Structure 1
Amino acid sequence: MAIRLRGHHLLCLLGYRGMGYSADFCTNMTAIYETLRTEPDSVVELVTGPDDICRAYPPDELNHCSGTVHQLDDAVLAKLGFKTGESLSWREVCDRISQEVVPADIGHLCTSCPWQSYGVCQEGVQYIAEGRPLPAVGNLQ
């Protein structure tokens, strides 16, 4: 079964280090992250709108999954040359990121993201560019 991901989550996953909107969100995000990290041939389906990460967004928080992030999804997919509806392996996603994205792109693409200032997404892009594995959650390398 494919993991359904929207455009901007392709980059968010690179910077995931266990922080999130709630405990349930982190549990879900960690499961997805660790699956992709440890099983890079896992199939990813690119979708429009809410995806498998969004499904655990806290119901009591102002939800942005259906609103303002569509432009970011579009920008990330365009940068990577992907289209919604495509299915490919996480390894192929990371290969494309290493070819098309540099850490400084996060600052341009993700200007409205509250997590951008932590620098972890830039770090994740750098790991991929250097051919280094992403760290296990809670185990920064």
Structure 2
Amino acid sequence: MTPPVQFRPHHFLCALGFQGKGYSGSFTQNMAAIVAQLRGPDGDGVLIEVTGQADSICAPCPHRRGMSCVKAAQIAALDDRHAHALGLQAGQRLTWADAQSRIRTHVPPGSLRDLCAGCQWLEFGLCEAALSALHRD
């Protein structure tokens, strides 16, 4: 059995909106591989485990410090808002299909300005576009 991909709560929306941009080449390559798995033919069945620390996406991030981040306070605030919005808690496991369903149910288009406040990627509109597309599907 394939081990679950580990996600911090805010990475569910990041994975949804990812479009090939990142903090470094190795970060972007790693994120692209994870997202390709989620968007692949068996992606809906990919098992994800929620964590409150550095996860599969964070692994090569230049901001990572051990199992934390140089932006720990900002990331914790993002994670708290996302965990609350999506009803997630550390240790919980769900499939990517279940995650998308939760996003569709609990995160309406136009809500990312508040939910993702402080995220440097918000201004690009990639996640908002992906969220809108998810709601149209």
Deviations 1:71-98 (A, max 9, x none): 1101101101121110010000001101
CA pair 86-107 structure 1, distance change in 2 beyond 3 A: same
- Note if contact 2:58-2:64 (Cα within 8 Å) is conserved in structure 1: no
Count of residue pairs brought into register by the alignment: 130
Deviations 1:11-42 (A, max 9, x none): 11111100011110111000000101112110
Give 3-state SS (helix, strand or coil) of 2:128's partner: helix
Which residues of structure 2 form unaligned runs of 5+?
Answer: none
Determine the structure 1 residue equivalent to 2:109: 103
| Contact persistence 2:74–2:118 (CA under 8 A) | no
Structure 1 residue 124 corresponds to structure 2 residue 130 = yes
Identity score, percent: 32
Aligned to 2:88: 82
Q: What residue ranges of structure 1 are gaps of 5+ in the alignment?
A: 132-141
* Contact preservation (8 Å) 1:50, 1:65: no
Moved over 6 A (4+): none
Q: In structure 1, which of residues 45, 51, 55 is the aligned counterpart of residue 49 of structure 2? A: 45
Q: Which amino acid aligns with 1:31?
A: A
RMSD: 1.7
In the other structure, the counterpart of 1:136 is: none
Q: With structure 2 as the length reference, what TM-score do the two structures score? A: 0.88
Who is 2:16 aligned against? Answer: 14
Does the CA-based 8 Å contact 2:27-2:60 persist in structure 1?
yes
The aligned amino acid for 2:30 is N
The answer on whether the counterparts of 1:28 and 1:53 sit within 8 Å (CA) in structure 2 is yes
**What do the CA deviations read for 1:91-130 (whole angstroms, capped 9, x no partner)?**
0000110111112111011110110000010011111111
1:60 to partner: Cα distance: 9.3
**Amino acid corresponding to residue 26 of structure 2 in structure 1:** D
Counterpart residue number, 2:37: 35
